[in-house]
Amino acid sequence: MIKKSFRPNRKYMIWAMITAFIATLIFIAFGVILESYRNNQLDQSIDLYGSYHFCFHGLTDEQIDYVNHHDAVEQTALVRNIETIGKDYVCNCMCVNESLFDISEYRMVEGRFPQAANEVLVPRWFLEQRSHSENPQVGDVIEMIDPISGENEPKVVSGIVCSGYSNIRLTAHHGTSVFFNEDTIQWPGEVNVLYVRLKGTDFKEDIVSSLVPGFTYESETITCDSNDEILYLEGITKDGKRNMLRYLGGYLAIMIVTVLLSAILIRNVLRVMMQKMHGIFEIYFVLGANMSEINRTFIKVLYTYCFCGELLGMLLGLTIGLGASGLLGFTLYVPVKMIAVSLILEALFFFVILLRVKEYNRNIRLTGARTIFRGKHFMFVRFALRNFMTYHLKKVVNILAIAGCVVLLFVVSLVVKDQTKQQDNNDSYDYYLQMDLYGVVDASTYPAEYENLLSKWKNVRDYCISKGHIPYYDAFFVDHYDITKQNMSKELQHTYARTAQGAAALARTNASFQCKLAIMAIGPEAVAEMGMDPLPEHGAILLNRITGKHNMEGSLSGMEGAVIKKEALRTEGEPDEFGNPNYIDVEFQICNLADNIPVYPMLEEDTLCLLIDINEYLYLYGHDYASSFYLKHLTEEEVNEIQGMLTDQTHIRLLNQHEVLDDITHVHRLMWYGMMTMFILGILFVYSNMQLQNIYEFDSRKNEFALLNAMGISPKMLQRLKSLETAFAILFGWLLGLLLCQCLNFVLYHYVIVEDEWIRLEVIWQSAVLIGAVSIIIMLVSAVKNKSSKIDWILKEL
C-alpha cells in the first residue's frame, strides 16, 4: 500500500531507471567493443604467429616430465641439435619428434612419417646434398649422425618435408628439421630445445618461471623464446602491461565518468521526488508511521527501478557492443568478469546514493521561505549571480555534472583517437605487392622455394615496369641520427615536443637531438619521377619532413652535402676467415633534399628518412631477398595478369590498398558515430539535469518567487532570472570541465602515454565548445519549457 503512494512520482522513477540504463549501456557497449577489438588483435596474432608457445633451452628430464604432465600444456615437442652443416650459411640439423610437425605446421611433400629407427623425414635440399644418387628421391639412403649413438649411420629417407609458416619457424629459421620416429629416439639427459603449446588462451607464467628460475619479462632476462606479440597483447610484458593499463584505463575512465554522471542525475531525481513527496511523508509522519521504514520502502522501490535500468542497460549494451563489433568485423568477445565487477560496483554506488535519502529529506525541511532579496539597487544580472552563488555553488555536484560531460566527451575522444590513429598512406598508392618476412623463405634452407618466389617477384616487377608503373620499395631500416638543434626548425622541434619522450629529449640536450632515421630504399624510376639525377654510390636524398600528416617543409636546414655515417654495413672485399662478409662503416652523402616523395609507405611516426638506391640498400644490408613494393594506378587487366603470375599467393600476394583503407575508414566512421552518440547522450544528460534542477528550485523557492512577484517582478522576469542562474551554472561547469580535462591531459601526457602524441588542446576545446554551445541551447529550450504560466501556477500554490 505504501508503494502505491509513490505512484505520482513514477515518472521520476522511470527517469532514474533510464539514467541507470543509459550509463550501463554506455560503458558495457564500450567494454564489449574494446574487448572484441583487443581479442581480435590477439586472434590475428595467433593466426599469424601461431598459438601460445614457449621455447626452452637446456632442460633436464625432470623438467620435461613436469611440463608434459602440466594441466595447462596441450602439446610439447623436443628438438636437439645433432650437427652443424654448411659454410657460407650455418645451418643446424635438428633431430625432432612428430609433435613439432604439427606445432610448426610443416607440410609433407611426399612419402610418409618415419616408422622405423633407421628412417628419417628430411627437406628436399638436405636429401639433394646428402644423397649420392643423381636423381635423389624417397627411399634413398643417406649418411647422417644418429641421435642416439652420435655416430654417422645410414638412414632411409621415408619422405620429403617442406617448411611451415609459424612463429616457431622464425625462431628456428637458422636450422633445418629432420624428423625421426619418436619411438626409436631415446632423448639423452638434456635436450636442446623444448617447445610447449598451451591449452586455451590463459598465459601460464608459472610454467615459465618454474623452468627458468628468476625469469622475468620486465628485467628482460629472457632465456626462452615465446610469442612476443601475444604476450604484449595479453599485457604480460612490460610494454604489454602498459598497453593493458591504457586499455583498462580507458574503460574504467568511461565507466567511472558515466556512473558518476548518472549518480548525479539520480541524486537530483531523488531530490525532486522527495520534494514532491514531502506532503505525503508528512501525512505518514503525523499518522505515526515509522519513517525509517517508509524511507526503506522508498529506497527499495527506487533501487528496483535503477536496478532494472541497469539490467536493461546491460542487455542493450551487450547487444549494441556486439553489433558494433560485428560491424567493425571483430570476432565477438564479452568481457564477462569486467562487466560483472562493473555492474556490482555500479549497483553498490547507486545504493549508496539512495541511502542518502534521509539527508535530502532533512535538507528539504530546511528550505522554506528563504529569501535573499535585500539589494538596495536591483540589478538583474548581479541578482542572478548572487542567487547562483547562494543556491548552486553550495550544490557543486550540479556543476560537476556539466564538467563531467565535458570530461566524458574528452575521454571518449581520447579513446577513439587512440583506436583510430592508424596512419594511412595519404592515398598515394593503390596496390601493395607484399612479400613475407625474411627467414620464412630462406635461400640456403629452401633454395627451390626461394628461387620460385624470387622469380615470381621479378616477373611482377618487370611486368609493372614494362607497363610504365614504378615500384616504390618498402624496404627500410630504422636507426638513430643526431641532428643539431640549429638544423631543426621550430616546427620540427614542436613536432618532437608532441610526445613526452621527445620533449624530454629536447630538453636534455643543448647541442644535438637524437631522432629516429629510416634508411629507405628507392628505385631509380622513383628518383627520376622526383626530377632528380640518379643517385651515385653512397648518395642519398634526405626527406625534409617527418613522416605523418604534418608537412614539415623547411624543418631541416643546411643539410645538403652533409654526411651521415652508418656503421657495420657490408661492403665489397674479401670475406673474413670464417667466410663472413666484410663489414665496415659507410658514409652516405646527402645529394638532395626532398619535401615530398611520390609514395608514402607506412613508417613509424616522427622518423626522418634517408633515401638510398634499392640495389645498394639490399646489398649493404645483406638482404639477398626482394623487397615488397607499392604501385599506383593498375588497370583491372593488369591486376588480373599479376594475380595470375602469383598463382597460389604463398609468401607473395598483391593487396588492393583501397580495400584496406575502406576497412579503416569504416572503423573510423563507426567510431565517430559512437562519439556522436555519446555527445547526444551528454546533451540529454545536461538537459535532464537542468530540468530536474529547475523543477526542484521552482518548488523549493516558491516563497521567494512569490515574494519577488509580490514586489512587482513579472513571472516572465522570474523566468529570465532562473535562466540566468542556470547560465552561470553552465559557465562554471564548463570552465571546471576544461580545467579537469587539462589536468587529465597533463597526467596522461607525463605519466601514462609517454610514447603517444601530445593530446592537442584543440580536442579539449572542441569538446568543451560543443558541450558549452549545446548547453546554452538546452538552457534556452529549458527556459521556454518552464514558461511563465508554470511560474504563475507555483505562485498560486502559496
Partner 1 sequence: MNQNIRLVDVSKLYGTSGGGFPALKHVNLTIPKGEICAIVGASGAGKTTLLNVMSCLTDVTEGEIFFDDTDITKMNGKEASDYRLHNIGFVFQKYQLMPTLNIHDNICLPYVLAKESVDEAYVTQLVQNLGIESELEKMPDQLSGGQQQRVAIARALALKPSVIFADEPTGNLDSQNGFKTMDLLISCAKELGHTLVFVTHNETLAAMADRKIEIVDGEIA
Residues near partner 1, by CB under 8 A: 1-2, 4-8, 279-280, 283-291
CB of 361 or CB of 694, closer to partner 1: 361
| Least distance CB 291 / partner 1 (angstroms) | 7
H-helix or E-strand containing 481?
Answer: strand 476-484
* 260 contacts: CB under 8 Å, gap ≥ 6: 400, 404
| Least distance CB 699 / partner 1 (angstroms) | 17
| Least distance CB 287 / partner 1 (angstroms) | 6
CB of 244 or CB of 280, closer to partner 1: 280
| Least distance CB 292 / partner 1 (angstroms) | 8
How far is the C-alpha of 684 from the C-alpha of 680, rounded, in Å? 6
CB of 7 or CB of 87, closer to partner 1: 7
CB of 214 or CB of 288, closer to partner 1: 288
| Least distance CB 298 / partner 1 (angstroms) | 14
CB of 360 or CB of 496, closer to partner 1: 360
CB of 287 or CB of 711, closer to partner 1: 287
H-helix or E-strand containing 109?
Answer: strand 107-111
Residue 7: all three cell numbers together? 505512484
Backbone phi, then psi, for 80, in 5-degree steps?
-135, 135
Nearest CA to 414 among 675, 184, 105?
Answer: 675
H-helix or E-strand containing 295?
Answer: helix 291-327
Give whole-number Cα distances, 70 to 46, 74, 403, 633, in Å: 22, 9, 53, 55
How far is the C-alpha of 698 from the C-alpha of 708, rounded, in Å? 13
CB of 283 or CB of 747, closer to partner 1: 283
CB of 6 or CB of 481, closer to partner 1: 6
CB of 289 or CB of 743, closer to partner 1: 289
| Least distance CB 5 / partner 1 (angstroms) | 5
* 249 contacts: CB under 8 Å, gap ≥ 6: 752
CB of 295 or CB of 444, closer to partner 1: 295
| Least distance CB 711 / partner 1 (angstroms) | 24
Query: What's the one-letter identity of residue 646?
Result: L
Helices (H) and strands (E) in the chain, counts: 25, 20
How far is the C-alpha of 579 from the C-alpha of 357, rounded, in Å? 85
Nearest CA to 261 among 408, 410, 412, 411?
Answer: 408
CB of 6 or CB of 388, closer to partner 1: 6
H-helix or E-strand containing 460?
Answer: helix 447-466
Nearest CA to 324 among 38, 33, 546?
Answer: 33
Polymer length in residues for the chain:
798
Place of cell 536493461: 312
| Partners of 593 in beta bridges | 542
CB of 360 or CB of 463, closer to partner 1: 360
* 531 contacts: CB under 8 Å, gap ≥ 6: none
Is residue 738 a contact partner of residue 406, using CB atoms and an 8 Å limit? yes
Residue 565: all three cell numbers together? 655515417
Q: Is 148 helix (H, G, I), strand (E, B) or coil?
A: coil
CA 561 to chain centre: 41
| Least distance CB 367 / partner 1 (angstroms) | 18
| Least distance CB 238 / partner 1 (angstroms) | 60
In terms of Cβ atoms closer than 10 Å to its own Cβ (0-12, 13-18, 19+), residue 635 is exposed
| Least distance CB 288 / partner 1 (angstroms) | 3
CB of 4 or CB of 69, closer to partner 1: 4
Q: How many CB atoms lie within 10 A of CB 745?
A: 18
CB of 4 or CB of 376, closer to partner 1: 4
How far is the C-alpha of 417 from the C-alpha of 177, rounded, in Å? 46
Is residue 13 a contact partner of residue 305, using CB atoms and an 8 Å limit? yes
| Least distance CB 352 / partner 1 (angstroms) | 24
Where does residue 787 fall: left (phi above 0), alpha (psi -120 to 50 degrees), or beta otherwise? beta
H-helix or E-strand containing 60?
Answer: strand 53-60
How far is the C-alpha of 387 from the C-alpha of 727, rounded, in Å? 12
| Least distance CB 293 / partner 1 (angstroms) | 8
| Partners of 515 in beta bridges | 481
CB of 285 or CB of 673, closer to partner 1: 285
| Least distance CB 398 / partner 1 (angstroms) | 30
| Least distance CB 2 / partner 1 (angstroms) | 7
| Least distance CB 283 / partner 1 (angstroms) | 5
Backbone phi, then psi, for 617, in 5-degree steps?
-60, -50
| Least distance CB 282 / partner 1 (angstroms) | 8
Q: How many CB atoms lie within 10 A of CB 307?
A: 17
DSSP codes of every residue in 551-617: --TT-B-S-TT-EEEEEEEEESS---TTSPPEEEEEEEEEEEEES--S------SSEEEEEEEHHHH
| Least distance CB 286 / partner 1 (angstroms) | 5
Nearest CA to 623 among 469, 456, 474?
Answer: 474
| Partners of 60 in beta bridges | 190
CB of 291 or CB of 735, closer to partner 1: 291
How far is the C-alpha of 124 from the C-alpha of 109, rounded, in Å? 9
CB of 181 or CB of 367, closer to partner 1: 367
